[in-house]
């Protein structure tokens, strides 16, 4: 486990029941990659993403 960054700590401190600090997104991809190919590609690259 790693300590929170200053920015992450700020969001956590500012969040309460009246003011949730949720973040969301929607990604739309176009192309011919099927789900299994997508899953394999993500599985082969997930180790490149820094741990939180």
Q: Quote the CA–CA distance of 20 and 49 in Å, as a whole number.
A: 26
Domain boundaries, the chain: 26-52
Residue pair 52/1 in contact (Cβ under 8 Å)? The answer is no
At 47 the pLDDT is 96
**Residue 52 vs residue 38, higher pLDDT:** 38
Is 2 a residue whose pLDDT tops 90? no
Using left for φ > 0, alpha for ψ between -120 and 50, and beta otherwise, residue 31 falls in: left
Is 52 a residue whose pLDDT tops 80? no
At 30 the pLDDT is 86
* Structure confidence by residue, pLDDT tens digits, 6-50: 998 998 899 998 988 888 999 888 888 899 999 999 999 999 998
Distance of CA 7 to the CA centre of its chain: 15
Task: Give residue for tokens 């990604």.
Answer: 27
């Amino acid at each position: 486990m790693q300590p929170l960054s200053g920015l992450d700590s700020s969001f956590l401190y500012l969040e309460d029941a009246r003011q949730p600090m949720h973040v969301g997104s929607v990604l739309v991809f176009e192309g011919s990659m099927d789900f299994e190919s997508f899953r394999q590609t993500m599985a082969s690259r997930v180790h490149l993403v820094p741990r939180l």
